Structure 1
Amino acid sequence: MLAEARRQLPPANALPGGIVAEQKPDGFRAIVFARRDLVMVQSRQGADLTSAFPDIARAARALGDSLVLDGELVVHRQGRLDFAALQRRARRRGRSAGQAAAADPAYLIAFDVLESDGTNLMPLPYRDRRARLESLFATGALDSPFTLCPATTDCAMAQDWLDPAWGSAGIEGVVLKGLSQPYLPGKRSWIKVRSQATAEAVIGGVTGSLAAPLALLLGRYDASDDLRLVARTTPLAASVRRELTECLTPATPDHPWASRRFSVGWGTRGELMHDPVTPELVAEFLADTAVDAGHYRHPVRFIRIRAEMHPMQVPRFEESGEVPGGGDPNI
């Protein structure tokens, strides 16, 4: 079952039976089959991740109950959920996977139980499935590395979970579900709202052309005064394109990105075609809290030019609270 993205919390009657909000952790969506004849960790796309997560598979085999759980695979490091460490684990197999499990153990934050002792629970309303899931943890049938996803019917608490401060711990936002909804595989009948906050960066390049910019490439200077790519914007509105065309200037040959190549998307190897521009303008943007190796994982939304700010007033790359760590998505 999937979620439709929204920018803000919907009214309480937007989903059947009223709304419950669950925290959205920064991880991999996974179904864990803990049947007597099948133990499997399956990704949202249907890939078999069992050999990559032997710690989760081992715990599933040890369960007394035959269960199918829906949840989020996560790795916890240094006080927050670490998506990059989780991604590294997903690539390991064999002995390497076992070593990675010992160094960076994974957890499944369970938010649904789809089957119990051969009984299909998906037709049941969410409230009944949630009660069954909570009882599994309360009785000790489920414990570490399985953990229960926090949920609330309190609108104020759900709004609090959208505070970007939760992003520093690895909580991306909330997923909203109807209390009387059955589980509908493949249907976008839940609602997802991501935490968002504004930030600033230097405009270092554009996709498209200077005469017709389609999106902006944004950077921040590091301690060595190297301009590091941190984000790419969503497609610009026509009015914004006209405004930017009047104020962007072509880059000189010594532009720091003149010979750089960037990936077309997070976690991909395709090359992004771009034109460098003189890094003299500061852009304010709206972004969610998913950041890896100093790069915003999802495209950000351009808000405005900060004409009163000098590029050197933008927080340094390594000092920015929104963009922790180092690295560069250069190919």
Structure 2
Amino acid sequence: MTWTLPEPMLAAPVSDPALLPGWAGEPKWDGFRALLSVDAGRVVLRSRRGTEMAASFPEIVAGIVQLPDATAFDGELVVWDAAGRLAFERLQDRLARRGAGAARSAQEWPAHFVAFDVLRLSGTDTTGWPYRRRRAALESVFAARGLIAPWVLCPSTTDPDTLREWLTWTSVGIEGVLFKRLDDAYRPSGRDWQKYKVRETTEAIVGAVTGSLTAPRSLLLGRYDDGRLQYTGRTTTLTRTASTTVAGQLASAQHGHPWTGWSFSAGWGSHETLNGTLVEPELVVEVSVDVARDAAGRWRHPARLHRARPDLSPADVPRWTSPQR
């Protein structure tokens, strides 16, 4: 019977970063989830949604000579920039490249496969093994085979102090931590793992809304950079109460709005644009955002609105910053 890659095991979000007894923790990487198998020289590199990615990452395919045959990993594809930070946009750009273009990109922005689980080992299906046994097997493969780039062994710990230290690594692109029960098997499509994403509370200026001024659905947010209001991201859909509260504090945009003629993406990496209504950039709001940023410094994921801050002026809002500066 032919062995095929299972669906990936998933994680449910949690609000507490505490590492409980009987669980292990791993860093949550800012990359692409990927499952990889090698069988008699045939390589499958599949995204979480089932997209085949091998043609875009020839350096990963070339690296299979280091692995035992009939083996499969679960992990994360990542690209590091020159400063040692995870460069998600470089990784995103590489997905569209094939052939000579993919080979050039592999030289300029090489990807690594951060392995955090083993699903098959030398022909043995390991998904029924408990996590602690799979983890020991994964570490054994790396040690016995002396694996080097493009392979990276994801750290794992049962020490709460170590995990708390990982939560401070957001400056290099670690988004948070994953929790895995030591005695759990690998359950395809099961959401039995847990994930905690580091979030920060900050302020931004409302420059536009989706929906209408009287019933805004989401807020388009900005910050000033040398006198220019730069778009930094949008909120999730507002609750009815929040929409009503914010609506009473918005004013129609006057002539010369800094975003006149601009279009706004419906989501990071999406070609769909939002139907935005400009407002006077006067209202400050407090939002919760995770640490993922694009190359320009914009929030890659929607922010959660905490509250309007009419007590603050736009001058009180943190300045726009870009990691490329």
Does TM, normalized by the shorter one, top 0.5?
Answer: yes
Aligned residue among 181, 185, 190 for 2:188: 185
Alignment-derived partner of residue 34 in structure 1: 38
* 2:155 is equivalent to residue 150 of structure 1: yes
Aligned residue among 235, 260, 266 for 1:233: 235
Following the alignment from structure 1 to structure 2, what is the Cα–Cα distance between the partners of residues 137 and 281? 54
* Equivalent AA in structure 1 for residue 13 of structure 2: A
Q: How many residues align?
A: 315
Following the alignment from structure 2 to structure 1, what is the Cα–Cα distance between the partners of residues 246 and 33? 39
Deviation of 1:148 after TM superposition, in Å, equals 0.9
Alignment-derived partner of residue 211 in structure 1: 214
Alignment-derived partner of residue 268 in structure 1: 270
Following the alignment from structure 2 to structure 1, what is the Cα–Cα distance between the partners of residues 13 and 204? 25
* 2:126 is equivalent to residue 121 of structure 1: yes
Following the alignment from structure 2 to structure 1, what is the Cα–Cα distance between the partners of residues 119 and 53? 19
* Equivalent AA in structure 2 for residue 124 of structure 1: W
Following the alignment from structure 1 to structure 2, what is the Cα–Cα distance between the partners of residues 160 and 237? 35
- Secondary structure at the residue paired with 1:173? strand
Aligned residue among 56, 59, 62 for 1:58: 62
* 2:166 is equivalent to residue 161 of structure 1: yes
Deviation of 1:6 after TM superposition, in Å, equals 2.0
* Equivalent AA in structure 2 for residue 26 of structure 1: D
Which segment drifts farther, 133-142 or 76-85? Answer: 133-142
Output the TM-score relative to the length of structure 1. Answer: 0.90
Alignment-derived partner of residue 329 in structure 1: none
Output the TM-score relative to the length of structure 2. Answer: 0.91
Root-mean-square deviation over aligned CA pairs:
1.8
Deviation of 1:267 after TM superposition, in Å, equals 0.6
Map 1:1-331 onto structure 2 (within 5 A): 1-9=9-17, 12=20, 18-77=22-81, 78-163=83-168, 166-223=169-226, 225-292=227-294, 293-317=296-320, 320=321, 324-325=323-324
Q: Please list the CA deviations of residues 64-120 of structure 1 after superposition, one character each: whole Å capped at 9, or x if unmatched.
A: 443101100000112201001111111111011111001111101100010011110
Following the alignment from structure 2 to structure 1, what is the Cα–Cα distance between the partners of residues 298 and 324? 9
Gaps of 5+ in 1: 327-331
Following the alignment from structure 1 to structure 2, what is the Cα–Cα distance between the partners of residues 308 and 79? 39
Q: Please list the CA deviations of residues 14-57 of structure 1 after superposition, one character each: whole Å capped at 9, or x if unmatched.
A: xxxx2111100100011111222421211111111111000010
Q: Is the 8 A contact 1:215 1:233 kept in 2?
A: yes
* Equivalent AA in structure 2 for residue 72 of structure 1: E
- Secondary structure at the residue paired with 1:102? helix
* Equivalent AA in structure 1 for residue 211 of structure 2: G
Which segment drifts farther, 61-70 or 47-56? Answer: 61-70
Deviation of 1:186 after TM superposition, in Å, equals 1.2
* Equivalent AA in structure 2 for residue 295 of structure 1: R
Q: Please list the CA deviations of residues 132-164 of structure 1 after superposition, one character each: whole Å capped at 9, or x if unmatched.
A: 00111222342221111111112333233234x
Q: Is the 8 A contact 2:19 2:163 kept in 1?
A: no
Q: Is the 8 A contact 2:284 2:309 kept in 1?
A: yes
Q: Please list the CA deviations of residues 172-221 of structure 1 after superposition, one character each: whole Å capped at 9, or x if unmatched.
A: 00111111111111111111110111122111111111111121110112
Change (3 A) 1:157 1:294: same
Q: Please list the CA deviations of residues 242-262 of structure 1 after superposition, one character each: whole Å capped at 9, or x if unmatched.
A: 221221111113212232111
Deviation of 1:285 after TM superposition, in Å, equals 1.1
* Equivalent AA in structure 1 for residue 198 of structure 2: S
Following the alignment from structure 1 to structure 2, what is the Cα–Cα distance between the partners of residues 5 and 91? 30
Following the alignment from structure 2 to structure 1, what is the Cα–Cα distance between the partners of residues 124 and 245? 60
Following the alignment from structure 2 to structure 1, what is the Cα–Cα distance between the partners of residues 39 and 102? 23
Which segment drifts farther, 4-13 or 126-135? Answer: 4-13
Q: Is the 8 A contact 1:74 1:107 kept in 2?
A: yes
Following the alignment from structure 2 to structure 1, what is the Cα–Cα distance between the partners of residues 241 and 18? 29
Q: Is the 8 A contact 1:206 1:277 kept in 2?
A: yes
Q: Is the 8 A contact 1:53 1:106 kept in 2?
A: yes
Q: Is the 8 A contact 1:65 1:141 kept in 2?
A: no
Deviation of 1:12 after TM superposition, in Å, equals 2.3
